Amino acid sequence: MNGPVEEQWLSVIIPTLNEERNLAPLLERLATCERVQVIVADGESGDGTAAVAQSLGAETISVPKGRARQMNAGAARAKGKALLFLHADSRPPRHFDLLVRRALAAGAAGGAFAFAVEDDSPFLRFITRTTNFRSRRLGVVFGDQGIFANADAFRRAGGFPEQPIMEDYELVRRLRRIGEFLILDEAVVSSGRRWRAVGAVRNSFVNVVITWAYVLGVPPARLERWYRGMSGSGGGR
């Protein structure tokens, strides 16, 4: 990455699907940052998601539903040498843009933030600790931690594999083959809505089962069906 770290453009890609109620706080936060390009890759939402994104100044593209497909389409529009993928209901830490730039300027292929949930229940505090241990010690990282990458390394990794589930885990595995993958101390905070909707214990159990099944070679299409059945979700992870 050439030039002072603070002057590098960072492209933030946000995949959305019916996020009208959750998107504005994130976009308002991103709008306060300098040299940050915000791209909302909307999966043909049936609500006002695209209108909210456009009203708050985000570049907005419509892409057929599929989180990996949406994020790849957003990355194709990125002008930054640094890419950051965020969920619509997440809140990045203070100075997240500088943290990402510094990590990549130091030579890392990619990285992620620590995990946190906007819920202070004892079980979710336990989940937060175990998730951060898992990501640091075992290298298991998911998109709710805010994955970032050097744009060239992202392309060399082939982007997100266009599979219905575990696309974030697979991208991280590929980036690790290219270079260092850092886990930062600062956390991206997720809303916790899925934990509340599915139930914290059940959601944790489903995540563990799906992850290990993927590692053991179960095809993503089958995993998506399992995920829907176990979590009661109408969509993927």
pLDDT band at 235 (very low <50, low <70, confident <90, very high): very low
The pLDDT of residue 196 is: 85
pLDDT tens digits along 3-57: 666 678 999 999 999 999 999 999 999 999 999 999 999 999 999 999 999 999 9
User: Is residue 167 a contact partner of residue 235, using CB atoms and an 8 Å limit?
Assistant: no
| Domain membership flag for residue 81 | yes
Domain membership of residue 205 (yes or no) is no
Reply yes or no on whether the pLDDT at 61 is more than 80: yes
208 occurs within a structural domain: no
- 3-class DSSP assignment, residue 115: strand
Given pLDDT bands bounded at 50, 70 and 90, which one contains residue 237? very low
Query: Which residues form the domain of 185?
Result: 5-121+137-194
pLDDT at 236 over 60: no
Kindly tell me if the per-residue pLDDT of 113 is higher than 50: yes
What pLDDT sits at residue 8?
Answer: 86
Does residue 230 sit within a domain? no
The residue with tokens 């949930």 is: 117
pLDDT at 10: 98
Does residue 232 carry a pLDDT above 80? no
Residue 31 φ then ψ, to 5°: -65, -15
* pLDDT tens digits, 169-222: 999 999 999 999 999 999 999 998 888 888 999 999 999 999 999 999 999 999
Whether 229 is covered by a domain: the verdict is no
Give the whole-angstrom CA distance, residue 212 versus residue 166: 11
Contact 164, 236 (CB under 8 A): yes
Residue 223 lies in a domain: no
C-alpha distance from residue 184 to each of 71, 88, 100, 139 (Å):
22, 20, 9, 13
Question: Total domain count for the chain?
Answer: 1
DSSP 173-195: HHHHHHS-EEEEEEEEEE--HHH
Q: Tell me the pLDDT tens digit for each residue of 145-174.
A: 999 999 999 999 999 999 999 999 999 999
Specify if 130 maps to a domain. no
In a domain, 221, yes or no: no
How far apart are the C-alpha atoms of 190 and 186, rounded to whole Å? 13
Predicted TM-score of the model (pTM): 0.94
Q: What is the CATH number of the domain that holds 161?
A: 3.90.550.10
